[in-house]
Amino acid sequence: MRAPDHVFKMIKDFWELNKDAARPENWPAGNTYTNHWKAPSTMVSVEDKKFKGGGFVLKQNIWNAARDTISEWTGQQLAECSLYGIRSYPTGAVLAPHVDRLPLVASAIINVDQDLDEPWPLEVIGHDGKAHNVTMVPGDLVLCKSLYRCFCCHYSRRILMRRLFRIIQTRVTPLFTAARSH
């Protein structure tokens, strides 16, 4: 599906203003979500006021729009959990199979930008147990839901060939979960 036009424009405009200021992403020791030790990812944080247009207002606007889209899809009232920024995966990157940790139970992945010679599909194991390859272009949005012990495993098994793939991901949790964790 496509990201709502106003959401994608907001993210893309921020990216264009700040793409040359991306910083290396710090992954915790032992983390294997990506092969960051071989192909280090970079991040442009939407909440960092040092970036042009960055800060709380941008982050909240992205959250509001994404939450509404995910809420409509899941049929649940949702609260925000995490939204970091625009992550760039360089040549040689691999995204290992994983599920988002609880309470991050639903997420939206938006392809912000890419420079590829061939597709780098996101592979999703659905609740039906079947693998689905999802090839994204800028502006595409993929929704993943891991509600109530049903986990959506997502990854890209293939090595990213040539240049860059950039995404932003926002995660939400049902309101009753958010209320219990505070």
- Condensed to tens digits (0 to 9), the pLDDT of residues 75-111 reads 878 777 778 789 888 888 887 776 665 555 677 788 8
At residue 145, the 3 state secondary structure works out as strand
Domain boundaries, the chain: 5-181
> What's the pLDDT score for residue 152?
45
Q: What's the CATH architecture for 5-181?
A: Sandwich (2.60)
Q: Name the strand (E) or helix (H) holding 98.
A: strand 95-98
pLDDT digits (tens, 9 = 90+) for 140-174: 888 776 644 334 444 455 555 555 666 666 555 55
β-strand partners of 24:
42
**Comparison of pLDDT for 147 and 22, the residue scoring more:** 22
Which two three-digit tokens encode residue 26?
Answer: 């710090």
Per-residue tokens: 5: 């036009």
